């Protein structure tokens, strides 16, 4: 078998074969580790021929088949299918020195949004023009996925990257799935619990791309916060459900007409006389149109939740002042993997 091209064995039949385009050892060198997750280790690397810096994801093999996991296959499939400036670019798939060892070579993106928000909160809150720029790019990348009938299913600030030129990139698409078959039920073990839409809790997998819009609503609230904290704090499912009721509101005949018909509607008691939702108290910086968009993203009823396309045309972006800041006007930061995350240039003094 050729060292430069090795087929991956034992792939699920419903996925196309993945043929690495070359050998890792012949083309790339690891510089330093960035992060380690459930499905692989991501490192900063360099192409030894072009000297281009790249991100290299060493994919964990499936425990039983020794081939690629379904999660890795999904990520490769989506990244090959959807090419967009706000989705991380897959450069190539290369084979490692041993059978079944595979690396995804992607464009290197300097920062993750969660770390940047926390870094900003130590100095100053994000300007509203910066929030609009970041959020509009997240929506644009999500719209591209939805236009291809793909839902991400794990949008959160840790999976949103940003370049030193202010360009946002959606990453970590291992949980992405095609949607559109109304008879198909999906797994409910998706989306980090603090970004998980209510219909995932209350149904047995009967959900669609609206769950991504809820996650974006959570990200929007995080961008608006003064300290970079998550909208929902509990790490337990029932705890998050209770927080949703407290902060967004309880399901009513008006806010979610079908709620009482959902199979898991009794997992938590819905109070008869709930207090006023606290959402707007948590985001006092939100503008009038920002509040309206946030409510539409965090609508309890998925059928009433705003789409990515409609959100991009919302007055928050199109007519309310200030307009989105041009991405190149963002300050630059040290790359991921470095301990110091403070801005390397000062920002304009006018808050926009």
- Encode pLDDT of 170-202 as tens digits: 999 989 999 986 656 777 777 899 999 999 999
170 vs 177: CA distance, rounded Å: 15
Min mean pLDDT across 47-56, 119-128, 188-197, 329-338 is at 329-338
- Would 219 be classed as within a structural domain? yes
Alpha carbon dihedral 196, 199, 203, 205, in 10-degree steps, equals -60
- Tallying the residues shown for the chain, one arrives at 352
Boundary of a domain, candidates 80, 107, 134: 107
pLDDT: which is higher, 45 or 74? 45
Mention every residue, 6+ apart, whose C-beta is less than 8 A from residue 253.
none
- Report the catalytic residues: 154
The SS3 assignment for 195 reads helix
Residues 267 and 188 both lie in one domain:
yes
Q: Which domain holds residue 320?
A: 111-329
Domain boundary among 107, 138, 155: 107
Same domain, 248 and 154: yes
Q: Is there a single domain that holds both residue 117 and residue 170?
A: yes
Question: Within this chain, do residues 44 and 58 fall inside the same structural domain, yes or no?
Answer: yes
- For 327-349, b/e burial (b = at least 16 CB within 10 A) is beebbebbbbeeeebebeeebee
Pairwise CA distance, residues 297 & 291, whole Å: 10
Same domain, 103 and 126: no
What CATH number has the domain bearing residue 244?
Answer: 1.10.510.10
Q: Give the pLDDT confidence of 315-324 residue by residue, as tens digits.
A: 999 999 999 9
What integer is the mean pLDDT of 37-48? 82
Are residues 313 and 239 part of one domain? yes
């Amino acid at each position: 078998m050729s060292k430069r091209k090795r087929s991956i064995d034992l792939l699920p039949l419903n996925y196309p074969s993945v043929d690495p385009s070359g050998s890792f050892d012949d083309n790339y060198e690891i510089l330093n580790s960035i992060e380690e997750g459930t499905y692989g280790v991501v490192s900063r690397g360099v192409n030894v021929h072009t000297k281009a810096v790249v991100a290299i994801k060493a994919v964990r093999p499936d425990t039983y088949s020794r081939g690629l996991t379904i999660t890795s296959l999904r990520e490769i499939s989506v990244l090959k299918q959807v090419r967009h400036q706000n989705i991380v670019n897959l450069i190539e798939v290369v084979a490692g020195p041993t059978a079944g060892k595979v690396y995804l070579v992607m464009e290197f993106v300097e920062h993750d949004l969660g770390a940047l928000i926390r870094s900003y909160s130590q100095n100053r809150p994000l300007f509203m023009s910066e929030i609009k720029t970041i959020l509009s790019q997240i929506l644009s990348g999500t719209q591209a996925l939805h236009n291809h009938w793909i839902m991400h299913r794990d949008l959160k600030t840790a999976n949103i990257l940003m370049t030193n030129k202010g360009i946002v990139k959606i990453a970590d698409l291992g949980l992405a799935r095609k949607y559109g078959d109304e008879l198909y039920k999906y797994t409910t073990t998706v989306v980090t619990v603090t970004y998980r839409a209510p219909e995932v809790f209350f149904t047995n997998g009967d959900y669609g791309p609206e769950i991504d819009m809820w996650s974006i609503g959570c990200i929007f609230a995080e961008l608006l916060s003064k300290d970079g904290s998550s909208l929902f704090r509990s790490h337990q499912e029932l705890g998050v459900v209770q927080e949703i009721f407290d902060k967004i509101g309880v399901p009513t005949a008006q806010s979610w007409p079908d709620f009482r018909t959902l199979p898991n509607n009794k997992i938590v008691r819905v109070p008869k006389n709930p207090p006023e939702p606290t959402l707007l108290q948590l985001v006092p910086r939100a503008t009038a149109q920002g509040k309206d968009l946030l409510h539409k993203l965090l609508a309890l009823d998925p059928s009433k939740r705003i789409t990515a396309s409609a959100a991009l045309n919302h007055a928050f972006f199109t007519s309310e002042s200030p307009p989105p800041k041009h991405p190149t006007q963002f300050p630059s930061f040290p790359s991921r993997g470095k301990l110091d995350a403070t801005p390397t240039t000062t920002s304009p003094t006018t808050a926009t």
